Each structure stands twice: as structure tokens, then as C-alpha cells.
Amino acid sequence: MWCESSEILITKQTAAWELPIGNRAIEITSIPSIECLDCGMIYQEDSVHEEIEDQLYLIDTSKIESSVSYEDLMAQPRLLKKNYFKV
């Protein structure tokens, strides 16, 4: 995406993520990711990043352990229907 190479690998990666309230960070495992085989950059598509950010605004983050899989994070029950903080 960034270096415009077509040599990519669809993978799942682990990343540290700061909670919206800013009081702690968690580890999210198995995040759908893209790895560029030319430049070595590993990143998540904007849509995945947005899904994670929205979900963290909409759930009770105090119930999340310090490490959670992407799938388990996205399965957490939401307290709100949508992210009202988005413009």
C-alpha cells in the first residue's frame, strides 16, 4: 500500500494498542495485517484500524485482559450502537 509493491503477504500480527481513555495499553493478537515482501513494512488496512478503534470506544475496556485476540475483542458486547465521537 505505502510503497506500492504488489509483493505482499496477508498475515495476522500482534500489536500494542493504547485504549481511548489513555490509561493503559493492551496487546491485540491475530490482527489481520499486510506484510510487504519488498520493504518489510507490516501494517493494518485503515478499515481494520478503524474497526479496532471503534470497538474500543464502544465496549467496557475495564473487562479486557492485558492481551486479547482481535476476534475476541471484536466479539465483546457493545455498550453503545455506534461511535458518537467520530465526526
DSSP H/E element including 67: strand 67-69
* pLDDT given for residue 55 in this prediction: 95
Per-residue pLDDT of the chain (87 residues; tens, 9 = 90+): 667 788 999 999 999 999 988 889 999 999 999 999 999 899 999 999 999 999 999 999 999 999 999 999 999 999 988 877 776
* pLDDT given for residue 1 in this prediction: 61
Q: Cα(first)–Cα(last) distance of the chain, in Å?
A: 25
pTM check: above 0.95: no
Establish how many alpha carbons lie within 13 A of residue 2's alpha carbon, considering only the half-sphere containing its beta carbon.
13
Establish how many alpha carbons lie within 13 A of residue 86's alpha carbon, considering only the half-sphere containing its beta carbon.
11
Residue with cell 475495564: 62
Query: Which parts of the chain fold into alpha helices (H)?
Result: 46-58, 70-74
